Amino acid sequence: MGLLTYLTKSSSTLKPTTLLRHLRFMSNVPENTVYGGPKPQNPHQRVTLTHLKQKHKKGDPITVVTAYDYPSAVHLDTAGIDVCLVGDSASMVVHGHDTTLPISLDEMLVHCRAVARGAKRPLLVGDLPFGTYESSSNQAVDTAVRILKEGGMDAIKLEGGSPSRITAAKAIVEAGIAVMGHVGLTPQAISVLGGFRPQGKNIASAVKVVETALALQEAGCFSVVLECVPAPVAAAATSALKIPTIGIGAGPFCSGQVLVYHDLLGMMQHPHHAKVTPKFCKQYAHVGDVINKALVEYKEEVANGSFPGPAHSPYKISETEINGFMSELQKLGLDKAAASTAAAAEKIKMSVSSNGPAND
């Protein structure tokens, strides 16, 4: 009799605990390891463009945060963030460059794959890095395809609203790939903008922000990031568009907000170009201080010998096995190693007797 047949016929007579043991046997969830238990399955449904459209229609704000690796992706997943953006900002906050320009497509794909393993609920959006989509629409489509096929993303983001960028966005959409636009301060264009400077602060610039956002919508983008523009300008763009706007340094009137993971957690200062976290970013924690304190404490405990203590030396060997092991060491002429083994065993025994028995 097969296991499924057995369970079907016997479930009414099996005790609940017995049935659960059988079901556990059938489960593909990995068993616990020395490094901890298996990752629980996320019960929430995967966010899609349809979900974002529904939120936008109801006026519910959309939450977006950047992530660059598996741990940050898991954090976003656990928090219930709507959209996980694998940003080319990794060039700065992960790789330590002054700008977003140096990061390559291959490097971005490494980040995308790591994030895709950790974030099971959010919509995943990957940035097209500088130099990988400007030459032609064909180049843009090829890069976007790699971001999805090799990076595991659901959509891509590209910066700017020049005619060539609009054409590229349209070509990518026509290739069947969802596109998020990005206007205002576009970090990949800092050589033209004269640095990391806010946009839309005069009439011509403000009109350009709105017109560019509209052009990206016409090209088929599902949303547009508005970066570092005055709140009234962002409000105008949000009102003019039928698709969601995602603000970063653009005030409270956008359809949603995005922040850089490292900035909102207070993990580090921006390298070189700014000595402090951006003025538009609220720090919801000061994780960098906690990390530094923990590392200093670890260094001190290793230096003074208090780590690892009995509580963090969990793997036991019986006295009989130790004696046999020392005998084998002596046969090999390793008397010093045998003496070290004996001294370690005695020290552990004394530590256990003074601190109470440890769990095997």
Distance between CA 235 and CA 74 in Å, rounded?
32
In a domain, 192, yes or no: yes
Per the structure, the complete domain to which residue 325 belongs is given by 308-354
Looking at the structure of the chain, the number of domains it has is 2
Distance between CA 110 and CA 115 in Å, rounded?
9
Which residues in the chain land under pLDDT 50?
A: 1-33, 38, 40-41, 270-273, 358
Task: Give the pLDDT confidence score for residue 275 in this predicted structure.
Answer: 55
The token pair that represents 258 in the structure block? 């995005």
A 10 A CB-CB count for 256 gives 22
In a domain, 6, yes or no: no
Considering the domain architecture, whether residues 284 and 332 belong to the same structural domain is answered as no
Is 117 in a helix, a strand, or coil? helix
Considering the domain architecture, whether residues 223 and 330 belong to the same structural domain is answered as no
Distance between CA 30 and CA 51 in Å, rounded?
31
Task: Give the pLDDT confidence score for residue 310 in this predicted structure.
Answer: 86
In a domain, 36, yes or no: no
Task: Give the pLDDT confidence score for residue 189 in this predicted structure.
Answer: 78
Considering the domain architecture, whether residues 247 and 336 belong to the same structural domain is answered as no
Task: Give the pLDDT confidence score for residue 44 in this predicted structure.
Answer: 67
Give kind and range of the element (H or E) at residue 180. Answer: strand 178-184
CATH code at 125?
3.20.20.60
Distance between CA 161 and CA 238 in Å, rounded?
16
In a domain, 338, yes or no: yes
Task: Give the pLDDT confidence score for residue 31 in this predicted structure.
Answer: 44
In a domain, 201, yes or no: yes
Considering the domain architecture, whether residues 275 and 325 belong to the same structural domain is answered as no
Considering the domain architecture, whether residues 335 and 275 belong to the same structural domain is answered as no
Considering the domain architecture, whether residues 257 and 123 belong to the same structural domain is answered as yes
In a domain, 133, yes or no: yes
Considering the domain architecture, whether residues 340 and 211 belong to the same structural domain is answered as no
The token pair that represents 32 in the structure block? 């616990």
Active site residues: 227
Considering the domain architecture, whether residues 319 and 223 belong to the same structural domain is answered as no
Task: Give the pLDDT confidence score for residue 286 in this predicted structure.
Answer: 92
In a domain, 233, yes or no: yes
